[in-house]
Structure 1
């Protein structure tokens, strides 16, 4: 009832000009044009969730499309790790292929496994940073995006989480399906080479350029 009264009061204050032709206007914009973005903002509570979801760190950086898509699946927790396969009624052991100690979950594989922790520590050491690792992938990505870094390194900085996720997933699948394990040092080098190729949009061309790139990973 109150809403009806408010509507009638609002209509009563509107002055109509009979000589002006009728036209459709979107009331939320001064231009009168309808915009999907403006409509989405009117949805209310859902918008608050979207604002806090780290989608920009995935889709707003220039990564190969398959890397962006994979990072998105990791954030949503739907990578086909053993815990997710078990939920789909697959019968299997759930031991992590990387450390061979703990059960394989997404948070363990990408964050808590010792091999994953070593990759995160490698980048933190390059930037001379200390960091308390959050407990899940979404919090990690959000926390990573909150670091204030110089504009000269910002583009590379945003690529690092996806680089780590992809490197671990490649190595995990190699161990799972091919029975081949990469040494820790080679895995770290491969991770840095992925990052190099995505930054420069080309494969590694010389050892010197790679070493110069690694030495440039600093916040100073």
Structure 2
């Protein structure tokens, strides 16, 4: 069953692979160890980012200590002082309710996708290449993605991106 809020991802002028990934996240269909175990694969279920909890979608994208560092940086740049939401689907539902100006609201939505993508890239680098990076680097790369995507989004051409800090 499709979550109604996972459709918003297709409304942005970003490369399709990022939109498709965001759509899969919204439906909780990315391949985590938890989902692979449900397909009868025998794997130890441990998050490769923090090495403490099970790797499920909600933990991987919201609760993991590594990811919380990225969220804290991005939320701070938008001057949003809120506690972390508990589940990815709640985050998706609330994402558009954030009180920001029109430009920052679009940047905020792009930031969601960029954070998810960078966390996924970091997880895959650790899993397949045995390479670990620090959270600050992932946050910087997520901000760089947002800046790159703004050049593809006519509504954001020429907007001030200085607060992203690149």
Same fold per superposition (TM over 0.5): yes
Give the structure-2-normalised TM-score. 0.87
Would the aligned equivalents of 1:57 and 1:141 in 2 still touch at CA under 8 Å? no
Structure 1's 64 and 150: CA in aligned 2 closer, same or farther, altered over 3 A?
A: same
Structure 2: gaps of 5 or more residues:
153-159
Q: Aligned pair 1:156/2:103, yes or no?
A: no
Give the structure-1-normalised TM-score. 0.67
Match of 1:196 in 2: 147
Shift of 1:56: 4.4
Could you give the per-residue CA deviations for residues 35-75 of structure 1, whole angstroms, max 9, x where no partner exists? xxxxxxxxxxxxxx98x821343111222111111011111
Q: Higher mean Cα deviation, 75-84 or 119-128?
A: 119-128
Shift of 1:155: 2.0
Partners of 1:116 and 1:81 in 2: how far apart? Answer: 15
Q: Aligned pair 1:125/2:79, yes or no?
A: no
Would the aligned equivalents of 1:57 and 1:145 in 2 still touch at CA under 8 Å? no
Give the one of 33, 56, 81 matched to 1:105. 56
Would the aligned equivalents of 1:111 and 1:137 in 2 still touch at CA under 8 Å? yes
Runs of 4+ in 1 over 4 A off after TM superposition: none
Whose radius of gyration is greater, 1 or 2? Answer: 1
Would the aligned equivalents of 1:175 and 1:181 in 2 still touch at CA under 8 Å? yes
Partners of 1:149 and 1:129 in 2: how far apart? Answer: 9
Q: Aligned pair 1:183/2:134, yes or no?
A: yes
Match of 1:216 in 2: 163
Shift of 1:217: 4.3
Match of 1:204 in 2: none
Q: Higher mean Cα deviation, 63-72 or 132-141?
A: 132-141
Shift of 1:185: 2.2
Q: Aligned pair 1:93/2:44, yes or no?
A: yes
Partners of 1:184 and 1:217 in 2: how far apart? Answer: 16
Structure 1's 77 and 56: CA in aligned 2 closer, same or farther, altered over 3 A?
A: closer
Higher RCO (CA 8 Å, separation ≥ 6 residues): 2
Would the aligned equivalents of 2:115 and 2:139 in 1 still touch at CA under 8 Å? no
Shift of 1:171: 0.5
Match of 2:156 in 1: none
Partners of 2:146 and 2:40 in 1: how far apart? Answer: 36
Shift of 1:132: 2.4
Alignment RMSD, CA only?
A: 2.0
Could you give the per-residue CA deviations for residues 66-94 of structure 1, whole angstroms, max 9, x where no partner exists? 11110111111111100000000000111
Match of 1:80 in 2: 31
